[in-house]
Chains A and B, each alone.
Chain A
Amino acid sequence: MIEPIKFFTDKFNISISQIESLLGSSLSKGGDYADLYFEYNVLNNLSMEEQIVKSANRAVRQGVGVRVISGERTGFAYCDEISVDAIRKAAVTAACIADSNTSVGAVNVTPGKAARDLYPVKQLLGDQPLEAKIELLKRIDRTARAYDQRIREVQAGLADEFKVVLIATSEGALIGDVQPLARTRVMCIADDDGNLQSGVSGGGGRIGFDYFNDAIIEHYANEAARQAIVQLEATDAPAGTMEVVLGAGWPGILLHEAVGHGLEADFNRKGTSAFSGLIGQKVASELCTVVDEGSIPNRRGSLNIDDEGNPTGQAVLIENGILRGYLQDKLSSRLTGAKLTGNGRRESYRHLPMPRMTNTFMLSGNDVPSDIIGSVKRGLYAVQFGGGQVDITNGKFVFSASEAYLIEDGKITSPVKGATLIGNGPVALTKVVAVGNDLALDEGIGTCGKDGQSVPVGVGMPTIKISEMTVGGTK
């Protein structure tokens, strides 16, 4: 078991008293707050296509980010070398954001420990011999090709990272975490006499090698193959506003785009989000309760502590349709007095923390999924999605269905081609007229981008029905 404080002090020969002195240097020109973020990260990537392992990649990313906050101002610098001299130089650079002469000496920190371990991993994927990982990829390839003879090409990949972080703050915290992350990805191409279609699947989380047992590996392979084969029969998607039923699980990307980003505290503090000033107001139908929860064991979006050293938990964003709160990081919380929610996240030591989502999902309702579908006269049933995007300021969001079907007279009929769905964040959820009793979280493949920074996230949702939404087909 790796202990993060000891890991950094031993590996890089830095003492706790030196860390205290470096925090002092960060506040040498004044400033209200400073933190150091130490990161050591080994990322592996293995991929197979045309039935051979074409590449094995490994990257080591290590360094320290130094941040100083003075009022609404932030100074930031980083170094790739983890040594007292290099960090001191970065600290002095970041310190320049403040301009008073009230320098402090060393800051005392108290070594702490995360209160729980949400992802104890015994067998790290990164520690497995390459041969064992290659076996997993071969199994994916075999399974997908066996699904249907029209599966012509299979691409399979396995990515993992082993990240150790340590956060030291001028408020006296010194706390670290060990954050394993792994996922597999499968892409299949089906070819039916020149009609080419693709399907994508995969999953993972903060899990170990044992997670990828035969059953789950075969599930991903079959799922990617199934999607590609289904698309061979797809007809043109409809265009216009209609009833839309979203399946359980990954379609929760709706929440991520429609409300999640718009509820990040930085935009709301600045008044630039379509949700600014709407706390306590109705932004969804009373059937909707949406939470962001970073403390679910083993999930891709989970963290023991966020990247500012605060424990993650459950933030209720929307409760029975009423907007309850925003996702906070330290800066926004300091400036607005709001309670921290454990949503301060960063891609790496080279990036500043921001309010970000973790695992965002809607709680189950009482409706039976088959009844929900049965209640639709003419509409779209969308079960798989590619990416999405949102304009925070006017609230318009899109998410693109990659597997969808027409619903005609309460029955699922033909599959349709991929189509983008578009809506308006503060309005879209007010049109939720049924919420299923089948909440499912996604399989662990999501990555969220904001301001050039990528972080792993999760989404989830029960089956829901939206009374009207614009579907971007051609017919």
Chain B
Amino acid sequence: MTISTDLLSDIIKQAIKRGATDAEAIASEATEFSVEVRLGEIEKLQEAASRGIGLRVLCEGRQASCSTSDVSPEGIEELIANAVEMAKRTSVDEAAILPAREEMATEIADLGLFDVAIAELSPERKIEMARRVEDAARSVDPRIVNSEGGACHTKVGKMTLVNSLGFAGQYPATTCNLITVPIAKEGEQMQVGFWGDRQRKLAALDSPETIGKEAARRALRKLGGQQVITQEVPIIFENGAAEDLLGDFFDAVEGGAIFRRSSFLVGQLGELIASPLLTIVDDGTIRGALGSRPFDGEGLKTRRTVVVENGVLKSYLLDCYTARKLNLSSTANASRGLTGAPSVGVGNFFIAPGVHTPEEIIASVKDGFYVTEMIGFGFNAVTGDYSRGAAGLWIENGKLTSAVEEVTIAGNLKDMLKGIEMVGNDLRFRGNIAAPTLKLNRMMVSGK
């Protein structure tokens, strides 16, 4: 079965009839397939279709939301009754409103989010891709002795949003995700390499061989990893690690953190908050990209927002609620699951590429740390304090040398942003957050 905009419109009408002032219904449906292969043998096969409906209602400024995976008439009846009943008993919140009519998308742009090649990809082909990506990783080097496997995951979904002000939109989307996780061993030390690609178009996906080789390279280069002595040095974030850093920055620049005053970026609009080399953009409209969508979680047409331009903070990322709290306009970054009010999410969030190749950036460092992976959650958006586990390679005289592990890197994001000295030209989207290689003047590396 598929959930139509008509069904959601009916749900909204029912909610209004029962006393809601305004209502917004959302439905998501997906067919997912995944295969995991390990050491050449199929280990897991999974296929399922799922669906769910969410309903957010407003009763004279009071808000509640309900969702259900039971889309039977009884399940839907219960959904509407509960949502309206609950909304009569929360508090009046003047900022909780649906978007103004003129803000909502009037047409549903085709952003190339659906690929028939993924929708029609046969299970046999997916199994073959999972086998090939693992094989490719395992055949790179005899030190690749084990594997957590290769996996291919596809999702064919549809998202529908309708509100009581007349917005009704629906779009289909596909994703294909191919990953492999080889394990390298030398002496007693084992190291895992994780690599994959995720795209909306099959043709855009890296080949299994490219992914497999890269995964093996990442496992092999970690071999021999050791702690270094505690010291303050220049840091280069490989593009994947720079993505992590950008993800942390998002937590400080999203409207929720700003109106709650729980971000070090409060009151900084128009101020120089980073090196002039840094430009950060969120763009929900890039054709075929993972973070693109024709309308956001509240029905606003998505757009391109320059967040930081040459180091100056130009805009926060906002949904209608946070925009209203801050007397600003939404940047069409509302994101929502089936349950709960919208919150701010990213479209395609990225650091604009610079002019330097990663090799040039590495060559510019005499003694420093090239960070390839980070683990843990040591970022405090309120203060900017930053302390995370890191692994990578040491740089000596402009060259990558031995592997480094079991160290932390620490600083404060305020200083780190200003300390960016070089920006790489190697931006590539593998998800909805992307960044090129970045060089920072210095951070504390804690080790031995």
Residues of A within 8 A of B (CB): 43, 45, 49, 52-63, 72-81, 90, 93, 96-97, 130-131, 134, 152-153, 155, 189, 191, 196-198, 237, 239-241, 270-272, 274, 350, 352, 386-394, 396-400, 417-424, 470-475
Starting from the known contacts A58-B83, A72-B38, A75-B46, 19 additional A-B residue pairs (CB-CB under 8 Å) come to: A45-B339, A54-B96, A57-B64, A57-B65, A57-B340, A58-B82, A62-B69, A74-B44, A75-B45, A81-B72, A130-B86, A153-B261, A198-B262, A198-B382, A237-B387, A397-B389, A471-B446, A472-B410, A473-B387
The segment from B19-27, B196-204, B304-312, B371-379 found at the interface with A is B371-379
9 residue pairs from A and B, CB less than 8 Å apart: A55-B90, A56-B86, A58-B65, A60-B79, A73-B45, A78-B50, A97-B45, A396-B406, A420-B387
* A234, chain B: closest CB distance, angstroms: 9
Q: Which residues of B contact A152 (CB under 8 A)?
A: 261
Q: Are A77 and B192 in contact (CB under 8 A)?
A: no
Q: Are A389 and B376 in contact (CB under 8 A)?
A: yes
Q: Are B388 and A472 in contact (CB under 8 A)?
A: yes
Determine whether B407 belongs to the interface, using a CB cutoff of 8 Å to chain A: yes
Residue from B46, B47, B78, B261 whose CB has the most chain A CB atoms within 10 Å: B46
> CA–CA, A61 to B51, complex, Å?
11
Q: Are B47 and A472 in contact (CB under 8 A)?
A: no
The segment from B166-174, B183-191, B417-425 found at the interface with A is B183-191
> CA–CA, A73 to B36, complex, Å?
10
Q: Are B389 and A389 in contact (CB under 8 A)?
A: yes
Question: A238 — nearest CB in chain B belongs to which residue?
Answer: B446
Determine whether B89 belongs to the interface, using a CB cutoff of 8 Å to chain A: yes
Q: Are A58 and B444 in contact (CB under 8 A)?
A: no
Q: Are B261 and A272 in contact (CB under 8 A)?
A: no
The segment from B222-230, B273-281, B429-437 found at the interface with A is B222-230
Question: A90 — nearest CB in chain B belongs to which residue?
Answer: B48
* A211, chain B: closest CB distance, angstroms: 23
> CA–CA, A471 to B47, complex, Å?
44
Question: A419 — nearest CB in chain B belongs to which residue?
Answer: B387
Question: A390 — nearest CB in chain B belongs to which residue?
Answer: B375
Q: Are B341 and A472 in contact (CB under 8 A)?
A: no
Determine whether B396 belongs to the interface, using a CB cutoff of 8 Å to chain A: no
Q: Are B376 and A394 in contact (CB under 8 A)?
A: no
> CA–CA, A133 to B392, complex, Å?
49
> CA–CA, A471 to B46, complex, Å?
42
> CA–CA, A76 to B153, complex, Å?
14
* B388, chain A: closest CB distance, angstroms: 6
* A160, chain B: closest CB distance, angstroms: 14
Q: Are A398 and B408 in contact (CB under 8 A)?
A: yes
Residue from B48, B66, B391, B446 whose CB has the most chain A CB atoms within 10 Å: B446
Interface string of B140-175 (1 = CB under 8 A from A): 000000101000000000000000000000000000
* A299, chain B: closest CB distance, angstroms: 24
> CA–CA, A63 to B68, complex, Å?
11
Q: Are A77 and B376 in contact (CB under 8 A)?
A: no
Q: Are B410 and A473 in contact (CB under 8 A)?
A: yes
Q: Which residues of A contact B87 (CB under 8 A)?
A: 56
Q: Are A60 and B260 in contact (CB under 8 A)?
A: no
Determine whether B401 belongs to the interface, using a CB cutoff of 8 Å to chain A: no
> CA–CA, A130 to B64, complex, Å?
12
Question: B263 — nearest CB in chain A belongs to which residue?
Answer: A196
Find residues 248-294 in chain B having any chain A CB closer than 8 Å to their own CB. Answer: 260-262, 264
Q: Are B44 and A352 in contact (CB under 8 A)?
A: yes
Q: Which residues of B contact A350 (CB under 8 A)?
A: 48, 50
Q: Which 7 A-B pairs have the closest CB atoms?
A: A472-B408, A52-B91, A398-B376, A398-B389, A420-B378, A239-B446, A393-B192
> CA–CA, A255 to B38, complex, Å?
29
> CA–CA, A399 to B377, complex, Å?
8
Q: Which residues of B contact A387 (CB under 8 A)?
A: 376-377
Q: Which residues of B contact A389 (CB under 8 A)?
A: 375-377, 389
Task: Pick from B44, B51, B66, B341: contact of A73, CB below 8 A.
Answer: B44
Q: Which residues of B contact A81 (CB under 8 A)?
A: 70, 72
Q: Are A396 and B64 in contact (CB under 8 A)?
A: no
Q: Are A80 and B50 in contact (CB under 8 A)?
A: yes
Q: Are A80 and B51 in contact (CB under 8 A)?
A: yes
Q: Are A422 and B183 in contact (CB under 8 A)?
A: no
Question: A48 — nearest CB in chain B belongs to which residue?
Answer: B91
Check A74/B383 contact, CB under 8 A, given A350-B50, A386-B377, A389-B389.
no
Find residues 385-412 in chain B having any chain A CB closer than 8 Å to their own CB. Answer: 385, 387-389, 391, 405-412
Q: Are B38 and A270 in contact (CB under 8 A)?
A: yes
Task: Pick from B67, B93, B189, B378: contact of A472, CB below 8 A.
Answer: B378
Check A59/B339 contact, CB under 8 A, given A189-B260, A352-B44, A391-B375.
yes
Q: Are B377 and A59 in contact (CB under 8 A)?
A: no
Question: A387 — nearest CB in chain B belongs to which residue?
Answer: B377
> CA–CA, A424 to B227, complex, Å?
11
Interface string of B45-63 (1 = CB under 8 A from A): 1111111100000000001
Q: Which residues of B contact A392 (CB under 8 A)?
A: 192
Q: Are A472 and B86 in contact (CB under 8 A)?
A: no
Q: Are B67 and A60 in contact (CB under 8 A)?
A: yes
Q: Are A72 and B43 in contact (CB under 8 A)?
A: yes
> CA–CA, A237 to B383, complex, Å?
14
* A269, chain B: closest CB distance, angstroms: 11
Check A77/B90 contact, CB under 8 A, given A59-B68, A196-B261, A422-B407.
no
Q: Are A470 and B446 in contact (CB under 8 A)?
A: yes
Q: Are A472 and B69 in contact (CB under 8 A)?
A: no
Q: Are B90 and A388 in contact (CB under 8 A)?
A: no
* B266, chain A: closest CB distance, angstroms: 8
Question: A52 — nearest CB in chain B belongs to which residue?
Answer: B91
Determine whether B42 belongs to the interface, using a CB cutoff of 8 Å to chain A: yes
Check A270/B339 contact, CB under 8 A, given A77-B46, A80-B70, A471-B446.
no
Determine whether B380 belongs to the interface, using a CB cutoff of 8 Å to chain A: yes
Q: Are B70 and A55 in contact (CB under 8 A)?
A: no
Residue from B38, B66, B92 whose CB has the most chain A CB atoms within 10 Å: B66
Determine whether B447 belongs to the interface, using a CB cutoff of 8 Å to chain A: yes
> CA–CA, A421 to B410, complex, Å?
11
Task: Pick from B262, B375, B444: contact of A396, CB below 8 A.
Answer: B375
Task: Pick from B83, B183, B222, B227: contact of A470, CB below 8 A.
Answer: B227
Q: Which residues of A contact B64 (CB under 8 A)?
A: 55-58
> CA–CA, A422 to B339, complex, Å?
36
Q: Are B380 and A60 in contact (CB under 8 A)?
A: no
Q: Which residues of A contact B227 (CB under 8 A)?
A: 470
Interface string of B6-21 (1 = CB under 8 A from A): 0000000000000000
Task: Pick from A80, A421, A423, A473: contact of B444, CB below 8 A.
Answer: A473
Check A272/B383 contact, CB under 8 A, given A60-B67, A389-B377.
no
Check A418/B387 contact, CB under 8 A, given A60-B78, A152-B261.
yes
